[in-house]
Structure 1
Amino acid sequence: MTTNTLDWTSAWNGRLSQKDEQRHAARCEELATHLYKELDDNKLPFINLPYRKQLEKELLEHDPWLQSFDHMLLLGIGGSALGTRALQRAFYPEQDMPNHTGKRLWISDNVDAGTFEEWLKCLPTEKTVVVVISKSGGTIETIAQYFVVREWLKQHLGDAWTDHIMLITDANSGYLREEVNKLGARSMPVPDNLGGRYSVLSAVGLVPAAFLGIDWKALLDGAMSVGDSLCKRECSKHTLQNHPSWKIATWAKTLMEEDYNILLFFTYIPTWASFGDWFAQLWAESLGKDGKGSTPLPAKGVTDQHSTQQLYLGGPRDKGCLYLTCPNQPEGMTFADDLPEKWNYLRGEKFGTLLQAEALGSRMALTQTETPLVEIKVGKTTETEAGRLIALLETATVLAGWLLEINPLNQPHVELGKRLANARLGASGYDEESKQLEHFLGREPDIQEF
């Protein structure tokens, strides 16, 4: 059996003390009770996946239709895109290879008018399915893209355009749900109480995964294996205290208490590097409230050894590190025996051994500079292990939020920028924001050319 492990050997470096972990244990009984109540009330569906049976049924029903297309254009932003991109790059990397002729996933997760227009010029409409993702059904960036794509489909396909769309949104309310009801278009629900950054293992991430042929059932199996012990009736203080997600949460809380305000997510699995971007949103949007939280910083090995690691090793001692590795990665080609004498130690070695050596060297360097570091080692880079990693980090994030005494499931400050943008666009109902905009834009400018 493949083993996935957390290595805590270097976790309590620097200003940290393992006694702090024991101090946080005093809250374990309280939070175990709270966890089980939240699970019972279906407030944490990303842990126990109560929607799995219906999700599997609907995915299997839609799969023949999905497979009839060569291209998928996904309209979504933030949690509607980051997890999907991580899955594509981890388990369908051939899309980014030279001369690829198979299926392609195009993720439009920004307001980039030039790129978007070029995509619509080049994509073959008759072989493209458009998937629109917004839990609320009112995300302005996604809805604006939908309005443009809707006209593009109508122009090329006429009345058949609705056969080329799927809307993934709230089951009961919102503009996209109204569109589903009006058009009779295909749709799948975002389950209740499932925020975007926690939604990758729902229709949000698994519809594109199914389209690409990724083993989405294994992703779900992996996730459920992590949360299984927490979902049982006999879940107790001792169950939670022995769970790896609790240990990550208490370690992260201790980091913040000791002014380690940056949490590196250093990935030494090249195809999994985009999980760093997914984690950054998960951690930042969940914990950055009430003046609390820490800044997640994705880093890719070995690339960032040659860019930002100078700061990690020689800069302020304000960083902890989650360090993602796998010992069983492709070894690649063998170096020839006629290498120059200076490089003779590479003769007969596999190219992939360089990655493992760099991963060890970087980890040792961080440890020697007393950076608190936890190594997350997955035995294999399969969908099952990815599902386990996703569930581990999601659960740890929630527990860290509770330890910080904030709500890790909302994002109140994200809404401010949205309201101001809507006011700028002339939407009604934003009188206060319009006043703020008038004041902001009316300031005396202080501008310098460069």
Structure 2
Amino acid sequence: MLEIRGGVGMSGLIRLDDTWALDHIDAEEIDGGMREAALQLQLLVDRKGAGSEYTGWLNLPIDAPDSVVARLEHAAADLREQSDTVVVCGIGGSYLGARAGLEFLAGVPSRSATDSLPDILFAGNSLSSWQLQKLLDRLAGHRFSVVVISKSGTTLETAVAFHILRTELVRRFGAGKARTRIVAITDSEHGTLHDLARDQGLVTFDLPRDVGGRYSVLTPVGLLPFAIAGLNIRAMLQGAAEQRTASLGSPAATNDALHYAVARRLLNTSGKNIELLTSFEPCLHFVGEWWKQLFGESEGKNGKGIFPASAEFTTDLHSLGQYVQEGTHSLFETVVDVPAPADVAFLCDADSPDGLAYLNGRSLSAMNHDARIATLLAHHDGGVPVLQLTVPDVSEGSFGAAVYFFEVACAVGGYMLGINPFDQPGVEAYKHNMFALLAKPGTEVEAADIRSRLARGN
């Protein structure tokens, strides 16, 4: 049996409604899928499945030591005090989760509105010289600090950007003060960044070895940037703990994380090989970007998996809407609904020449709600299965719950596919070629082979 610890009042859980997908899957299939999902969940929690050495994320919400959380809060306060801008330097799982939370929770920090919060910018997530130069131009005249996130310290995009930013810190503030403006989140014992942080006496936080990058949002990877932004990271962990209790301890019949995993699997076997994650609130844009990495990197192996895509409605209804409605019908849609944290009333004179008088007194939230329902009906009627996920509100707790919900559904779904959802062997293919082309020492043979292939046109 699963041993469940922690959890609170179960009011802030993520909920699934599959009503608008039942034309494509039947109750008998769901029942069988739920039984299989429950078995795979047990395998996950017992640490007996593929990649079990990377399942430390399961207990992050309840095992995060108070001393570490306090250190994160203290480090964040120090960075806020000395900086008007903080650059978070990382890529993939060291970038997307933090940005997802910051974008989702922008404007709702728990700290006093009178406190000064630094701008948080991002670097190390591409090799674009134009992007980095624009960042350096923006940092001119600002008191900036850097949070660098890398388990090894050798990820090229992050390492290059960090080297340039560290050089700029030294030039601007001197070597001694530059060291006080850098926080490193890295391996606890090994790696280039670990060694640099040790030698330079940098403030460091450990990246747990049993947690992969895309599952690391609730480690210092995400928690430190959230704390810098004035967010309540304890509430975030509490929300994740509540979702953990529901996702690991609820009976299969009432377990929405398992239900989501099963619905995705059944829709996939019915011929739907693309999942379009959509929302009607722009604050969820980067949640979609993190979600794409989580599911794409976890499932896309051995010729299997659902291709994860995302869209922002109503904006993308004016570009992608036609394809969703009448295209190849190779996709299903998952709509994430969250109540708007603020509202605007629409006031209009009865004789307004723009013809909008019929909307007088309506709120934009009501309009957005009606647009969502109209879209759901249209897509369903057009043959597109639609799943609905409801996030209770825009809060730290709800974000933590959403992260944990998707992680469990992804891991269980991977096991149902018969793959290891915690590795990413295909990611190394481009790196192998890139390092050879860049003439990294030790890649001479590979470089010669690539040059030969390019000469032959393949």
CA contact (8 A) 1:249 1:400 kept: yes
- Aligned pair in 2 of structure 1 residues 175, 125: CA closer, same or farther (>3 Å)? farther
- Moved segments of 4+, more than 3 Å: 1-4, 39-43, 238-242
Matched, 1:79 2:96: no
CA contact (8 A) 2:292 2:308 kept: yes
Matched, 1:10 2:20: yes
Matched, 1:164 2:164: no
Helix, strand or coil for the counterpart of 1:67?
helix
Q: After superposition, give the CA deviation of every residue in 1:337-357 in whole Å (9 maximum; x if it has no partner).
A: 343483221112223322111
CA contact (8 A) 2:348 2:357 kept: no
Helix, strand or coil for the counterpart of 2:157?
helix
Aligned to 1:180: 197
Aligned to 1:98: none
Aligned to 1:140: 156
**1:221-370 alignment runs, 5 A limit:** 221-229=238-246, 239-240=251-252, 242-338=254-350, 339-340=352-353, 342-370=355-383
**1:91-110 alignment runs, 5 A limit:** 91-93=105-107, 102-108=117-123, 109-110=125-126
Aligned to 2:84: 70
Q: After superposition, give the CA deviation of every residue in 1:322-349 in whole Å (9 maximum; x if it has no partner).
A: 1111245422133223434832211122
Helix, strand or coil for the counterpart of 1:137?
coil
Aligned to 2:43: 34
CA contact (8 A) 2:34 2:258 kept: no
Deviation at residue 293 of structure 1 after TM alignment: 0.4
Correspondent of 1:44 among 52, 55, 77: 55
TM-score (norm 2): 0.88
Aligned to 2:145: 129
Helix, strand or coil for the counterpart of 1:38?
coil
> Could you tell me how far apart the structure 2 residues matched to 1:103 and 1:60 are?
15
Aligned to 1:448: none
Aligned to 2:403: 390
The number of residues matched between the two structures is: 434
- Aligned pair in 2 of structure 1 residues 230, 85: CA closer, same or farther (>3 Å)? closer
Deviation at residue 39 of structure 1 after TM alignment: 8.7
> Could you tell me how far apart the structure 2 residues matched to 1:368 and 1:243 are?
28
- Aligned pair in 2 of structure 1 residues 444, 30: CA closer, same or farther (>3 Å)? closer
Instruction: Kindly indicate whether structure 1 or structure 2 has the higher relative contact order, using CA contacts under 8 Å at least 6 residues apart.
Output: 2
**Letter aligned with residue 281 of structure 2:** I
> Could you tell me how far apart the structure 1 residues matched to 2:159 and 2:22 are?
46
Q: After superposition, give the CA deviation of every residue in 1:279-329 in whole Å (9 maximum; x if it has no partner).
A: 111110110000000111101111111110110110112111111112454
Helix, strand or coil for the counterpart of 1:10?
helix
**Letter aligned with residue 315 of structure 2:** T
Deviation at residue 369 of structure 1 after TM alignment: 1.7
Deviation at residue 59 of structure 1 after TM alignment: 0.8
Gaps of at least 5 residues in structure 1 are 96-100, 446-450
**Letter aligned with residue 155 of structure 1:** R
> Could you tell me how far apart the structure 2 residues matched to 1:60 and 1:309 are?
43
Aligned to 1:204: 221
Question: Which shows bigger deviation, 345-354 or 297-306?
Answer: 345-354
Q: After superposition, give the CA deviation of every residue in 1:122-167 in whole Å (9 maximum; x if it has no partner).
A: 4157721111111222211111111111211111111221111011
Correspondent of 1:405 among 414, 418, 441: 418
> Could you tell me how far apart the structure 2 residues matched to 1:341 and 1:92 are?
33
**Letter aligned with residue 423 of structure 1:** A
TM-score (norm 1): 0.90
